Amino acid sequence: MRVKRRSKHRKVVKFYASCFGFREPYRVLVDGTFVHHLLVHRLLPADDALQALLSASRPPPLFTTKCVLAELRRLGKSHSDAFDAAGLLATAKCEHDKVVSAVDCILSLIGERNPEHFFVATQDSDLRAKLREVPGVPVIYGLKSSLFLEQPSVQQRKFAQLDEEKRLHMGKSEYLKLLKVASEGNTENASDDEKNKRPISSLVQNALGVAEKSKFKKKRPKGPNPLSCKKKKPKPQPSPAQNQGPKADGEAKRKRVRKRKRSYKDSKQTETLLMQHCLSNGSYGAAYNVVWLPFAQESTKDVFSSQ
Ligand SMILES: [Zn+2]
């Protein structure tokens, strides 16, 4: 299948999933004409072909009805292969005690809203035209050796849009009605508080027959990949004798006194301070001899030496 066509089909499936609640495994209701087409054009195995068409993660189960089988049998020898092949498929239960035509049977199964979320596969153009008027019915058909998924009809798109607008601009009475409908199902035992706490989106979706998302949690790794981590080294238990050794060293290190290296600037400062101190005490010469001489200017040295 061409990439462009595939992405087109994927979009159609997404439309029915988001607007009408279609979920995997998708179910395909086939009629006799479609089974015949599959056999003539050797689109086998059929479920694989349909899986590729719907971009599904698993082969979709195929269904017929007893009325469809009866019609194939009536068609005689030309459709005997199709009858045999259709006989191997699952049978969707219809409520016809007396066999009706395949078209009527499929239309009655689909009803007004397609509650079973069937994809309908048929080569009957009249049936396809009728199905386009029902909201939420995706239609599959074959053209030679290719399968196609019909684009949603104008009516279906309009219905989805109106439905969405209805949900957006819902009155209080409608909201309460939906709340009641939704709570009648699984939450019969739940208290009123719990019912009120449920988010409105889920209530609305349930009331409209849209299945909730699967409740299965995705399995995720709980920590870092153990294969990508270094093994932890077991800590060696230090013996008491060893324990004392490094400790004593540490103390010795701490006791070591570091001599501070004096910069020139620092020594100058100390020198002036010392000079001031000596001058105040009257022992100027001592200061001169000890400290000041090495840094003294020539002129000042002369002054002092003349003393
Ligand atoms: Zn039937």
Two tokens, residue 267: 């020594």
Q: Give the dihedral sign, CA 107/110/113/118.
A: negative
CA of 29 to the centre of ligand 1 (A): 12
Question: Does residue 249 lie in a domain region?
Answer: no
CA of 119 to the centre of ligand 1 (A): 17
Among 103, 105, 86, residue whose Cα is nearest residue 95: 105
Cα–Cα distance measured from residue 212 to residue 224, given in angstroms and rounded to the nearest whole number: 32
CB-based neighbours (< 5 A) of ligand 1, an ion: 65, 67, 94, 96, 105
Same domain, 130 and 199: no
Cα radius of gyration (the chain): 45
pTM: 0.55
88 vs 287 pLDDT, higher one: 88
Same domain, 78 and 148: yes
CA of 78 to the centre of ligand 1 (A): 22
CA of 226 to the centre of ligand 1 (A): 58
Question: Does residue 62 lie in a domain region?
Answer: yes
CA of 82 to the centre of ligand 1 (A): 18
pLDDT of 40 > 50? The answer is: yes
pLDDT in tens, 92-145: 888 888 889 989 999 999 988 888 899 999 999 999 999 999 988 999 999 988
In single-letter form, the type of residue at position 292 comes to W
Tally of structural domains, the chain: 3
CA of 304 to the centre of ligand 1 (A): 132
Is 178 in contact with 168 (CB distance < 8 Å)? no
Range of the domain at 284: 264-302
Same domain, 113 and 175: no
Same domain, 174 and 151: no
CATH no. for residue 113?
A: 3.40.50.1010
Among 66, 58, 60, residue whose Cα is nearest residue 95: 66
Same domain, 74 and 115: yes
For residue 203, the SS3 value is helix
CA of 65 to the centre of ligand 1 (A): 6
pLDDT band for position 268 (50/70/90)?
low
The pLDDT of residue 48 is: 87
Same domain, 138 and 274: no
In the numeric block, the tokens 């104008």 are attached to: 154
pLDDT in tens, 211-246: 444 456 777 778 888 788 888 787 777 665 555 544
CA of 97 to the centre of ligand 1 (A): 8
CA of 170 to the centre of ligand 1 (A): 38
